[in-house]
Chain A
């Protein structure tokens, strides 16, 4: 299926949980926050939340800033 991930349309496997998406992206062990269609998906729900076709996903982390 296609989703928009961090601003770019990407093809990802169907029926992915949020956890599985992060694993596919190599981000499983990272400290990050996830927002899908402008709603935050908390870490506790990563296993349960299923990504749908056309979802807009933002994955953010902390970087240096003033």
Chain B
């Protein structure tokens, strides 16, 4: 088998499993902040993502009836939709949103839970998130939970039945990249459910770093939609996720303080 085929086979044998479903892409993308639906479609396609988040909001009443719908370009047949609870500041609102999302999507019960604590940082309100997660798990939802990089909290979400835990790299939309790599690493090492970095990724290297830390995947929106060329950035992110994952599986060299020569001394003639 050629090296290219070996690599492809390895990737197919290294799926991301979320709620019992195997995915070959470890990049999950949001659909917000795009210029228009064409751009949304092109960038999502270029990313290779199979799981795509959506928001649940009031329908516009009395506006253009021919207006195209997000789900016309991001089809539930082609993609696994991940409705989010964006904008919710209370457990009650988040739970209500998830129930509406499940009804909207014909019983599809995979959700991204986020309960925010503050408008400036958009950091999660952990107390409210815990309350919402407990209710949603009890109500039969498969919860992927947005949280901070606290390993104790991450383990708590796993133990209560969330099917994935998603620590933030940095504030949503900040593009700062992973602020606390050692915490992310600890979360990964303590986990038996998938750990996905969600929020704060800025460019391709950030995504690669997340994967090199051992994360199972990365969820991002602004890093792609806000780039000058979203489809091109989506393509970069796709490669970065793959590169980071291979680097992680390959087992990197240790960091050393001093040098270790790459060429032998034996046989030198000077």
Contacts and interface: CB of A to CB of B under 8 A. Distances in A.
B221 A66 contact: yes
Most chain-B Cβ atoms within 10 A of its Cβ — which of A25, A32, A62? A62
Contacts of B65: 26
Interface string A53-66: 00000111111111
Interface string B83-111: 11010000000001001110111000000
Interface stretch (B13-21, B31-39, B230-238, B245-253): B31-39
Contacts of B71: 31, 62
Given A33-B103, A35-B100, A43-B103, A66 B69 contact: no
A31 B84 CA distance: 17
Contacts of B40: 64
Interface residues of A, number: 25
Interface residues of B, number: 35
B39 to A, nearest CB: 10
A65 B71 CA distance: 12
B59 to A, nearest CB: 5
Interface string A1-34: 0000111000000000000000001110011111
Contacts of A35: 96, 100
A66 B58 contact: no
A57 to B, nearest CB: 10
Contact of B56 (A6, A7, A30, A62): A62
B53 interface: yes
Contacts of A32: 59, 104
B222 A64 contact: no
Nearest to B31: A64
B62 interface: yes
Nearest to B72: A31
A12 B152 CA distance: 52
A58 B58 contact: yes
B59 A60 contact: yes
A34 B56 CA distance: 12
Contacts of A42: 103
A64 B35 CA distance: 11
A60 B32 contact: no
Interface of B: 30-34, 40, 53-59, 61-62, 65, 69-71, 81, 83-84, 86, 96, 99-101, 103-105, 172-173, 220-222
Interface of A: 5-7, 25-27, 30-35, 38, 40, 42-43, 58-66
15 contacts: A26-B62, A27-B61, A30-B69, A33-B103, A40-B99, A40-B100, A60-B59, A62-B54, A62-B83, A63-B31, A64-B30, A64-B31, A66-B31, A66-B53, A66-B172
Which 5 pairs of residues, A with B, have the shortest CB-CB distance? A65-B55, A66-B221, A66-B30, A64-B31, A33-B104
